[in-house]
Amino acid sequence: MLNLNIKNKISKIKILLCCILLYLLLQVLLSTGIINNYWQQIICYAGIMTISALGLNLIYGFTGQFSLGHAAFFGIGAYTSAFVIKVAHLNNTFYLILGLIAAGILAGLIAFVIGLPILRLRSDYLGIATLGFGIIIKVIFDNADAVLPVLGGSRGMIGIPKLTSFTWVFVLVILGVVILRNLINSAPGRALISVREDEIAAEAVGVNTTKYKTLGFVIGSVYAGVAGGLYAHLYAFLHPSNFDFLKSIDVLLIVVLGGMASISGTIFAAVIWVFILEGLRVVLPEAILDWRLVIYPLLLILIMIFRPSGIFGSREIKFLAYHEEKTK
């Protein structure tokens, strides 16, 4: 037992050192200009999509709740953080944390309020309900300037301080992965998975399924809210079209592509998804640039044919593996 604990500690130290080395390597490449500002922005966007996809993986992959409204919480977080920072004139990178906290809290509160009634639904019916919620939020964003002119409404919100940096994104990705990993390996995490596997059986053995479905939904939405806050301060402009139904599909595709209930797969798929889209933008001639939106779905179709469970399936790297996998 003692040897096992020592091995676990050594493994964690190795993971920590690898993360530090990766950060230092990328920071050197960024500071020396080897990676230009455009690709730095793409790297940050890949990290933001990773955080958002981890949240949806908790909701859909681990808890089994089919949600098509994830982009709505992403947008709520984006507009909340942008509003707080802009109105309070907190034009300093240090204050970004205040905007992200506000974004996560509001996204979580709204998820809790709407989650209590709609999470009683299951499967396609839940997906339709969350889709309806997403459409409602999109309409609210379109007309928000009638109540708060600073939000811009259908014209978009401008003048947002550009505070998101590579360091912020990297730290929050690591933090998000560690929190999700620890949650899944905890007693509430096992309850979430039991709801996914068989909700009736979970209720029969005393699991409060409504409580845990709501918990998973709220935490996953907080992830989306924080990711939205980072997005707002990365591009410094928000438009309601950035948070429509198709954006929810993008995140859903990342989760399915990487592998349901696989943290490793979600990270890998999010990075690949962003870099394929932007890589095709660079490689393809301008005349056929829009064809990248055809090539990408074709790649997805091929992967789903040959790897229907996703690239990683339900497998994890050793550090992120579930307790039950560690004992095999």
Domain 10-326 CATH assignment equals 1.10.3470: yes
Q: Where on the phi/psi map is residue 322: left (φ > 0), alpha (ψ -120 to 50), or beta?
A: beta
Q: What is the pTM of this model?
A: 0.91
Q: How far is CA 131 from CA 64, 229, 244, 251, 293, in A?
A: 16, 21, 10, 14, 23
**Confidence bin at 325 (pLDDT 50/70/90):** very low
User: Which single residue is written with the structure tokens 């639904």?
Assistant: 121
**pLDDT, position 82:** 94
Judged against a pLDDT cut of 80, whether residue 176 lies above it is answered with yes
Rounded CA-CA distance 84/111 in Å is 20
Judged against a pLDDT cut of 50, whether residue 327 lies above it is answered with no
Average pLDDT of every residue of the chain: 87
Judged against a pLDDT cut of 70, whether residue 81 lies above it is answered with yes
Closest CA to 63 of 197, 187, 179, 227: 197
- 304, containing H or E segment: helix 292-306
Of the listed ranges 112-121, 178-187, 207-216, 299-308, the least confidently predicted one is 299-308
* DSSP 8-state assignment for residue 209: H
Most confident among 80-89, 98-107, 305-314 (mean pLDDT): 98-107
Rounded CA-CA distance 287/285 in Å is 5
Instruction: Provide the b/e sequence for 92-118 (b: ≥16 CB within 10 Å).
Output: eeebbeebbbbbbebbbebbeebbeeb
**Do 30 and 151 contact (CB within 8 A), yes or no?**
no
**pLDDT, position 328:** 38
Judged against a pLDDT cut of 80, whether residue 64 lies above it is answered with yes
Rounded CA-CA distance 98/117 in Å is 30
Residue 159 φ/ψ, nearest 5 degrees = 75, 25
**pLDDT, position 322:** 59
Q: 71 Cβ partners below 8 Å, 6+ apart?
A: 134, 224, 243, 244, 245, 247, 248, 250, 251
Q: What angle do CA 282, 311, 50 make, to 5 degrees?
A: 60
